[in-house]
Amino acid sequence: MFGKKQLDDKMVDDKKMKIALICPASLPATQFGGILFLCVDIAREAAKAGHNATIYTTDLDFANNASTFSKNLPRLEIYQGFKINRTHVWFAFKLFFVNPGMYFQLKNDKPDIIHTVGIRSFQSLVAALISKKCKIPLVISDQGGLTTHPDLHGGTIKMLSYKMQNMMIKFVIKQAAKISVANQYEKDIFLQFTDESKIAIIKNGVSLEELYSDSIDFKKKYSVSGRFILFVGRFSLVKGVDTLLKACQNISVNLRGSKTKLIIMGVDFGFEEKMMKMIKELEIDDIVIVIKRPPRIDVISAYQACEFLVLPSRWELSPLTPLEGFAFKKPVISTTAHGIPHTITNGENAILVTPENHAELSEAILRLLNDEKMRNDFGQVGYKLVQEQCNSDTMAEKTLEIYKDILNR
């Protein structure tokens, strides 16, 4: 005989949940960053498990920049078994996109559970309001460094706008039934706002199925004849592109001697013009290749073809790019900044250097470039990490268990 709790568990396990995932951006705006891919991965895996999953988002398409919104994108699209529900953005301030239509879509659809990603967003405010009004359980994830992101400490106008968001953030956190964080670093941030019992650590994961699904001959397409090291990310000071360029100038003779290029792939987040100017001023334009707004398949193919990744960020929470590189057994050079050491490990699958230290970064690049055994060993350890822990299957399974537990309660 089943006890009452066992019966309740069985009922929720057997029931197909109606899941609303909330994000400021979704496909096709792949350059938006990690939170987009996390939502897509959870939605896809939930759909595979038979649940009704919908991503509620904006019509950001990233055709030219971070504020390109297209009414030509379909309002409702079915993709890999889940739905993408887009509503138009009326206006935007930086990455704060206001699309009031999402409120009515979410209210009318009445999901069983709401999971919002990216708390400093209009979309998370809408999710919390609907959760409260309609008594729908709310799960939140930030993935944006709630109090630690460098943008929070910028100019006066920006700082004031973020301070104005504080009441909104506290409301969203209070309304949440559960907070999903990527690592202990992020958990410590949330402990400033809420009780530990409300927080669950679920490591970020990447979709191995998507990464392995297709590729192109990257070197042929971009006429790269020799070896190359790879940077993938936003063209932004936060990502440490300037430090990387200075490091490459330090070892430019070595790179030319070994016929090795640095390939930079990404989209402009305010630093592209200065980056291109730096490349010329540092006289490294013969060893640096910049690929702007690359298609996703080109990024995946670059992972496959590179020697290793270099990601000298000043700030990261739980970066996905190193994990994508690990899927192809590629080691990583990054920094000790913020949440990075909670994702990749110095001396095991990566070399971590001091942020903004281009001399130290130069030494690390040469060390890894000249040591094939280290590259192979680190790549194997990274590969094991994503195969066993940091993949979308595991991440989604643990996330779905949170949903079920909340609905059982």
Tens-digit pLDDT string for the chain (409 aa): 334 444 344 445 557 999 999 999 999 988 787 889 899 999 999 999 999 999 999 999 876 566 688 889 999 999 999 999 999 999 988 778 999 999 999 999 999 999 999 998 999 999 999 999 999 999 999 877 677 766 666 666 556 666 677 888 999 999 999 999 999 999 999 999 999 999 999 999 999 998 999 889 999 999 999 999 999 998 999 999 999 999 999 999 999 999 999 999 998 888 999 999 999 999 999 999 999 989 999 999 999 999 999 999 999 989 999 999 999 999 999 999 999 999 999 999 999 999 999 999 999 999 999 999 999 999 999 999 999 999 999 999 999 999 999 999 8
CATH of 4-205+391-408, one of 3.40.50.2000, 1.10.10.10, 3.40.50.150, 3.20.20.70: 3.40.50.2000
Distance CA 76, CA 100 (A): 16
Residue burial 73-104, b: 16+ Cβ < 10 Å; e: rest:
beeeeebebbbbbbbbbeebeebbbbbebbbe
pTM: 0.86
Distance CA 246, CA 405 (A): 50
Tokens for 89?
């953005």
Q: What pLDDT is recorded for position 139?
A: 98
Q: What pLDDT is recorded for position 127?
A: 97
371: CB partners within 8 A, 6+ apart: none
Q: What pLDDT is recorded for position 269?
A: 84
Omega cis (within 30) before 28: yes
pLDDT in tens, 145-177: 677 766 666 666 556 666 677 888 999 999 999
Can you give the length of the chain in residues? 409
Residue burial 326-355, b: 16+ Cβ < 10 Å; e: rest:
bbbbbbbbbbebbbbbbbbeeeebbbbbeb
Residue burial 41-62, b: 16+ Cβ < 10 Å; e: rest:
bbbbbbbeeebbbbbbbbbbbb
Distance CA 334, CA 309 (A): 8
**Domain locations in the chain as residue ranges:** 4-205+391-408, 210-388
Give yes or no on whether 4-205+391-408 and 210-388 have one common fold.
Answer: yes
Distance CA 237, CA 83 (A): 35
**Average pLDDT over all residues of the chain:** 91
CATH of 210-388, one of 3.40.50.2000, 3.30.43.10, 3.30.1360.200, 3.40.640.10: 3.40.50.2000
C-alpha separations of 107 from 91, 113, 117, 125 in Å: 22, 12, 18, 13
Distance CA 201, CA 180 (A): 6
